[in-house]
Amino acid sequence: MTDHVVEALPGIFRLIDLVGVLLNGVLGGIIARRKRFDLVGFAILAITSALGGGMLRDIMLQAGPPVALTDPLYLATALLGAVVAFLLPLGGRWWTRLYVVGDALVLGCWAATGATKALSEGLGLLPAVLLGVMTAVGGGMIRDVVVGDVPTIFGGNTLYATSAVFASLAAIGLADVGQNTVGMLVAIIVGAGLSIAARWRGWRLPDA
């Protein structure tokens, strides 16, 4: 890669991260609308969907308050998603396409963030993969439980958590040789590629 591209990457990762927060905030709001909740419900489901995974990771790592609370943009962006979902009747075909692509991109980004943060706190391979997956899928899982649904990642979906496992492994492998930035890029490509391919081809994990 040319130097210019490499220099631009951290900014691009930050953008993908915040777009992920916004899209998952909107998704929380859409679910709040479907359940006929009021503005408080919109706000709580937006925060849970968008930031719950990272909160769970940071609570586990015990290295200070969750980034979701210390980075001033996170809460504001998640709440913006709630407001957007409150004002606009999203949820149709165009929203779904936008969400699927955006969420696929952020899946690997969040998995890589969680996995490498776990490594830098001194945890081993298996816990790092767990925290990578938790960062990527934890928010949706908590949201599903809170509204009384069985989490979709438990079965019947198309390789969602599995994509996060492979993205985490890619990030861990490249962080291990000191290539964190490249690792993040590869994790995003692996996560997005695998989750979109699985959705397109209908790939599923076996059940027992």
Contact residues toward a copy of itself (CB under 8 A) are: 29, 32-33, 35-42, 44-45, 47, 55, 59-62, 64-66, 69-70, 72, 75-76, 79, 85-87, 89, 118, 121, 123-124, 126-127, 130-131, 141, 145-151, 153-156, 160-162, 204-208
Nearer residue to a copy of itself within complex by CB, 36 or 93: 36
Shortest distance in whole angstroms from residue 48 CB to a copy of itself: 11
Kind and range of the H or E run holding 183: helix 180-201
Shortest distance in whole angstroms from residue 208 CB to a copy of itself: 5
Q: Residue 63 phi/psi, 5° resolution?
A: -120, 45
- CB-based contacts of 177: which residues, under 8 Å, 6+ apart? none
Nearer residue to a copy of itself within complex by CB, 152 or 179: 152
- For residue 42, CA distances in Å to 78, 115, 145 come to 10, 29, 15
What span, in angstroms and rounded, lies between the C-alpha atoms of 183 and 176?
9
Nearer residue to a copy of itself within complex by CB, 10 or 65: 65
Nearer residue to a copy of itself within complex by CB, 75 or 185: 75
Shortest distance in whole angstroms from residue 29 CB to a copy of itself: 8
148 three-class SS: coil
What span, in angstroms and rounded, lies between the C-alpha atoms of 177 and 180?
8
What span, in angstroms and rounded, lies between the C-alpha atoms of 46 and 23?
9
- For residue 86, CA distances in Å to 41, 165, 201 come to 10, 33, 33
Nearer residue to a copy of itself within complex by CB, 148 or 178: 148
Shortest distance in whole angstroms from residue 7 CB to a copy of itself: 29
Shortest distance in whole angstroms from residue 153 CB to a copy of itself: 6
